[in-house]
Chains A and B, each alone.
Chain A
Amino acid sequence: MRNLLIAILVLLVGAVAGRWVLIQFYPNFAIAAVYYSMQQREKTPEGWLHVDPIDETSRTVVRPAYDLLYSVCNADLANSGYYISLPPESDYTSISVYNASSDNIFSINDQDPKWQKDGLQLIVSGRDQAESLQNADPKPDAVINTNSPFALIIQRRIIRDRDQLSELEDKRRLTRCLPLS
């Protein structure tokens, strides 16, 4: 009888623990899978992986937006922060930063007054790096502390007309996302 009660208790505790671990850490597994799959792919000298326009063969991230052009920067923040720079943009462009828990911890778009005027300079930092990077030269518009060993930085642009993709391609090649050291 005692063994049966213990078995039921072990089953209950194990099941609750298993459920908790899966729900708590699934976002980390999911984003890590994307991060490491992107890591294998070739980047431009400017540090971005410029993803091809989305079509029905795109199978990396669920529910990709057909009308957006994506660029991804895999930031390995274990040893240094990343410096991101973009010129002023004339149409919807956004930069968003995701930490290792898949949270969208920062977003900014082309309507930001500073970005419109002078372009955008950001630093994305890992654990315990943010304070020392506040005074980086050139001074960034913002230092984003991910508190993570890695981050995914996503650039999105609206494709208003698929016939004008080459213009968008040219624009995204003017952007940078590179390690500080």
Chain B
Amino acid sequence: MGVKSVMTVVSFVAKLLGWLLILLFAIAGGMIWGWTEIDDQRPQMMKVGAWQSDPAIGSVGASAKLRASVARWGLLALSREEAIYFTAHEDQWGEALREECSYLVEGTDPQARWWSLTLYAEDMFLAQNKDERHSVSADNVKRNFPRADGRGSWQVEIRGNAPANADAADWLSSKNAGKFDLVLRLYNPDPRIQEDFSAILLPTIKQLSCEGMG
């Protein structure tokens, strides 16, 4: 084999490697593009007040993007026949929920066999603060005007430090939670609301005050 032939082969291999590098670079870029899409906590979900959800969560019929988003933000979610999930990242006025502020969540018992409201820190796990105030549920929330069927209206305060009457009050701790979110779970939801999420009685989230803002 002559020098010319060797040079031709080397040139061909170099070109091939160049194209391969471009392709790998493009694939990596595409994966980063895909990741930013599923890392966005607000995919094309339906929004009711401060809350968002999607009837297709957990189902085989969900779009690829929704399935990826659920795998990222709520792996092992149940389909709506068993449970409906609503997530809130913002208050009623569209401001991100954050530990520097306190909030009042007010609602009535949603139309389900059982429900819970849980606060998750920015890393999607329970906030590490030793306050043991991560969640309230249909079992332990204090209702203002209890009705005969046990349902009624309730209020829960979210704050970074314990209120004066910490044992008596309904409150969730946002200490060390950063930009947190709230997840409302409805177990065995009424069949009517499974078909129409907009008919669900969802709580309101109002900001009370923020540190350094008076």
Contacts and interface: CB of A to CB of B under 8 A. Distances in A.
Contacts of A62: 72-75, 124-125
A129 B23 CA distance: 40
Interface of B: 19, 22-31, 33-35, 37-38, 58-60, 62, 64-65, 67-68, 70-79, 81-82, 113-114, 116, 118, 120, 124-130, 134-135, 137, 139, 183, 185, 187-188
Instruction: Name the residue in A55, A66, A101 with the highest tally of chain B Cβ atoms < 10 Å from its Cβ.
Output: A66
B139 A92 contact: no
Nearest to B183: A63
Contact of B31 (A22, A30, A31, A64): A22
Nearest to B136: A67
Interface SS of chain A: helix, strand, loop or mixed?
mixed
A83 B187 CA distance: 26
Contacts of A64: 125-126
Interface in A6-44: 6-7, 10-24, 26-27, 30-31, 34
Contacts, number: 168
B26 A12 contact: yes
A158 B125 contact: no
B76 A154 contact: yes
A111 B37 CA distance: 38
A10 B75 contact: no
A30 B125 contact: no
Contact of B116 (A26, A67, A103, A105): A67
Interface residues of A, number: 52
Interface string A46-89: 00000000111111011111110000000000000000000000
Contacts of A67: 116, 118, 135, 137, 139
A152 interface: yes
A92 B187 contact: yes
Contacts of A23: 34, 37-38, 64-65, 68
B124 to A, nearest CB: 4
A65 B118 contact: yes
Given A11-B22, A63-B73, A96-B78, A18 B125 contact: no
Contact of B79 (A18, A57, A104, A152): A104
A57 B121 CA distance: 12
A91 to B, nearest CB: 9
A109 B82 contact: yes
The 3 A-B residue pairs whose C-beta atoms are closest, nearest first, are A18-B30, A14-B26, A22-B34
